[in-house]
Amino acid sequence: SSSKKTCILQQSRISPKLLEALQILKFAWRKDRLNFTCNLLAQEEDYSIEAYI
């Protein structure tokens, strides 16, 4: 995983506090990113059919 690569002692110069903060931000970002329908609300106009004959 990406956190495993970041957490390897030899590769990381990030302090433990900063690493924890970055992991929390990454989790929050990924959680919101997958919610594609959070702001969608059906309107009455969405269900009407308009046809000109």
pLDDT per residue as tens, the chain (53 positions): 566 665 665 556 788 888 888 888 888 777 766 566 767 777 777 778 877 76
- Dihedral over Cα of 19, 35, 33, 9: its sign: positive
Q: Which domain holds residue 18?
A: 2-35
Query: What's the whole-model pTM score?
Result: 0.42
Asked if 19 and 11 touch (Cβ cutoff 8 Å), the reply is no
**45 in a domain, yes or no?**
no
Burial of residue 19 (CB within 10 Å: 0-12, 13-18, 19+) is middle
Residue type, 13: R
The count of structural domains within the chain is: 1
